Structure 1
Amino acid sequence: MSVVWPIGNRESDKLERQVILKRLKKIRAQKMLDAGSGQCVFTKQMASIIGANEVHAIDIQAYSNECAEANIHFVTGDLNKSFPYPNGYFDIITSIHTIEHLTDTDSYLDEIFRTLKPGGLLLLDTVNLAALHYRVMLLFGYYPMCMAPSRYKISPAKGEHPPYPHKSVFTYRALIEVARKHGFGLVEGLSHTIYPLPTFLGNIICKIWPNIGLYTSLLFQKPIS
């Protein structure tokens, strides 16, 4: 029986990638932007799934060489600020564990909305501040590991995993509501992984109570008119 552990565990990371790629199989898009792409390894996989023929990536770290090898147009940029792309350019924008690292999430969502075509899609994946085990940690006086204010690990969990100094961690419900304030319509929302339950059981529970899953995965659309 497999057990999924918190963020950063190879099994939970693999599961999340599988969830993302499964959702993208239903989508076809030509122009894609991966906001917060890293070295473009997963960007390339996502672009291949949706059949994109023009793929762009932006990250605060300089990964030009790595992304160029994958035929991806890379730009180094601060995602708290304006994007270097014209209005209504992209068919789809992916944001995979990016928003939690930003300080100006309103600017970020505004820029995504601006650069998407009418009818364009936003796939936004992030960690859920209200995950079940984070609620338990708060109950016992600890802070959630996804929002650590110190470099020191203060947690009852075993292991030497580092804290996660994220800047802006949303709950599942709050992120949906904030995105709606920025003009997006929700196409599909789901969450998955409940630590320390077996994968299959956690995902069954998340279908009933998505507010308690560890990972939030939301598909939004910019209105056509």
Structure 2
Amino acid sequence: MLREYLLGVWYEAEELNQRAIISLLEPGIDTVLDLGCNDGSFTERIAGEIGARNALGVEIDTDRARTARDRGITVTEADLERPLPLEDETADAITVNQVIEHLKNTDNMISEAMRLLRPGGLLVISTENLSSWHNIFSIILGWQPFSLTNISDRRMGIGNPLALHRGNTGVSRYMQHRRVFSPRGLAELIEIHGFQVESLKGAGYFPLGGRPARALNAIDTRHSSFMTIRGRKPA
């Protein structure tokens, strides 16, 4: 029962997080590039809601890339931990949703985003928040933080009895979490690559949902479950 409740709260936070990402993009964007676009469903939503004429994606998984192409996304199959086979200044905006935590070489992805953006372009990155209260209390209890339980290819939910996918097996290496950030850590990471940090938004406030979670997000963004940061490439 508790796990079902937490799963419902997670899905609610996921939807709010997607809205936060879209809200940080600007109207008039011609080309949006989604790094780690998965099956293209969210990429398609982004392009539709901001009116982008061109929706591009990068995805390492062949099956997911194929599905994204079926949705009309122009997808490049590539590894975000390596230089990308795309031309300089390809996009007006780049989105990265729930991807950076799966990478070892986060510097490569950020530097590639800088290269691929046109002057004045936006980078919007969203990821789980290491400094969220549910992660902090897990550590106090001596548990693995929720955001760092997917660390083995044998089983999910290592070290935390309340992890949502605890016990699931057959974990793809692409699903494992390798680096998880706090708001300040993520902000400083993109700053050292030349981005100007403009704003931070949060979504979710585990274990709360509904109005209490939204109210607390408004006054305590730095401890939200998900965080989204917007950076701008200098013009």
Q: In structure 1, what residue type is equivalent to 2:232?
A: Q
Mark the runs of 5 or more structure 2 residues left unpaired by the alignment. Answer: 169-174
Q: Does 1:33 align with 2:33?
A: yes
* Aligned length, in residue pairs: 221
Q: In structure 2, what residue type is equivalent to 1:57?
A: G
- Equivalence for 2:43: 43
- Equivalence for 2:172: none
Q: In structure 2, what residue type is equivalent to 1:35?
A: L
Instruction: Answer yes or no: is the 8 Å Cα contact 1:172–1:210 preserved in 2.
Output: no
Q: Give the Cα–Cα distance (whole angstroms) in 1 for the partners of residues 77 and 164 of structure 2.
A: 34
C-alpha change, 1:65 and 1:109, in structure 2 (3 Å) is same
- Equivalence for 2:121: 120
- Equivalence for 2:221: 210
Q: Give the Cα–Cα distance (whole angstroms) in 2 for the partners of residues 7 and 19 of structure 1.
A: 19
- CA deviations over 1:16-43 (Å, ceiling 9, x no partner): 223333444x432111111000010111
Q: Give the Cα–Cα distance (whole angstroms) in 1 for the partners of residues 27 and 14 of structure 2.
A: 22
- Equivalence for 1:138: 139
Q: In structure 1, what residue type is equivalent to 2:160?
A: S
Q: Does 1:110 align with 2:121?
A: no
Q: In structure 1, what residue type is equivalent to 2:230?
A: L
Q: In structure 2, what residue type is equivalent to 1:80?
A: E
Mark the runs of 5 or more structure 1 residues left unpaired by the alignment. Answer: none
- 5 Å-filtered alignment, 1:143-162, equals 143-148=144-149, 149-150=151-152, 151=155, 153=157, 154-157=159-162, 161=166
- Equivalence for 1:191: 202
Larger deviation, residues 171-180 vs 151-160: 151-160
Q: Give the Cα–Cα distance (whole angstroms) in 1 for the partners of residues 127 and 8 of structure 2.
A: 11
Instruction: Answer yes or no: is the 8 Å Cα contact 2:13–2:203 preserved in 1.
Output: no
- Equivalence for 2:86: 85
CA-CA distance at 1:47 after TM superposition: 0.7
Structure having the larger proportion of residues in helix: 2
SS at match of 1:126: strand
Q: Give the Cα–Cα distance (whole angstroms) in 1 for the partners of residues 5 and 84 of structure 2.
A: 36
Q: Give the Cα–Cα distance (whole angstroms) in 2 for the partners of residues 92 and 76 of structure 1.
A: 19
Q: Give the Cα–Cα distance (whole angstroms) in 1 for the partners of residues 30 and 69 of structure 2.
A: 18
Larger deviation, residues 156-165 vs 71-80: 156-165
Structure-1-length-normalised TM-score: 0.89
CA-CA distance at 1:207 after TM superposition: 2.9
Q: In structure 1, what residue type is equivalent to 2:75?
A: F
**Percent of aligned pairs with the same amino acid:** 26
Structure-2-length-normalised TM-score: 0.85
CA-CA distance at 1:165 after TM superposition: 2.8
What is the CA RMSD across the aligned residues, in angstroms? 2.3
Q: Does 1:75 align with 2:80?
A: no
Q: In structure 2, what residue type is equivalent to 1:77?
A: A
Instruction: Answer yes or no: is the 8 Å Cα contact 1:4–1:199 preserved in 2.
Output: no
- CA deviations over 1:168-199 (Å, ceiling 9, x no partner): 11111110111111111112211121111233
